[in-house]
Amino acid sequence: MRILRTPEERFAGLPDFPYEPRYAEVPDGLRMAYVEAGPADGEPVVLLHGEPSWSFLYRHVMPELAAAGLRAIAADLVGFGRSDKPADQADHSYARHVEWTRALLLDALGLSRFTVVGQDWGGLIGLRIAAEHPERVARIVAANTGLPSGDIPMPEVWHRFRDAVLKAPVLDIARLVQAGCRTELPEEVRAAYDAPFPDESYKAGPRVMPSLVPITPDDPAAPANRAAWQVLTTLERPFLVAFSDGDPITGGMAPILLKSISGTSGLRHPVIKGAGHFLQEDAGAELGRQIAAFVTST
């Protein structure tokens, strides 16, 4: 496996992101990065990002959790942020990303009774970890995400996105994030999303992730996701559905989650107003307050 590591100087001067990076070793000789906020003995809340962002996405969520006395932990998926980047697309698979993230959270950090928050690919990975290791998870938050098994067609807008990512001669990371936001991102924020990728050779992760989403019933990842659905539908863990009101990619998943998962019963599920796919950018503080209220009240 050819592994690239983004030079640390690329991350100098990040706006509103003063957190010191921490690192842990995971399988295949890879190093994963994460940042923390809040008291070290606070109840842990794990924040998992998706395509093509990194933990910087949660910079407005983390202070709200810390203010509520919670230990916010935002990880960078392998191939993203400060984490190591396998240079070949063939080295990325859904199963490997689940295992790498599981190893960080359960083995390296030794977390137990934590709340897992997933958006986009963070949900595809986080929901699998919750279903496969329910004894370690206290609560689940799904925010603009899902757990596709290839049995329900993906929306046409998602297919257009996947094709654009695969075929673009130059993958403009900041432009992809901006396209998923309702608000206009300042130049320094756009630069922060570009920071992990000095050139195209670092972008195997963002390039390949859309093609790893199971879209046919015979996809290699489909059986594991179906098994996870079986667990999640009856799992006795509080499950918050916190979607935005303006996400054409995953919006249709909210009613499916609410109908299918027993842990959603008896909870007030917020709709984050005025936000797009990246609701952490458009309404991060509001999302953080909703997560904090959910964790401290259940």
As annotated, the active-site residues are: 120, 247, 277
Strands of 30-37's sheet in order across:
22-26, 30-37, 71-75, 44-48, 114-118, 137-142, 239-241
* Closest to 72 measured CA to CA, from 107, 35, 102, 103: 35
Peptide bond into 223 cis (omega under 30): no
Half-sphere exposure (CA, 13 Å, Cβ side) for 39?
A: 7
15 close to 188: Cβ distance less than 8 angstroms: yes
Q: Which helix (H) or strand (E) holds 239?
A: strand 239-241
* Closest to 78 measured CA to CA, from 60, 105, 117: 105
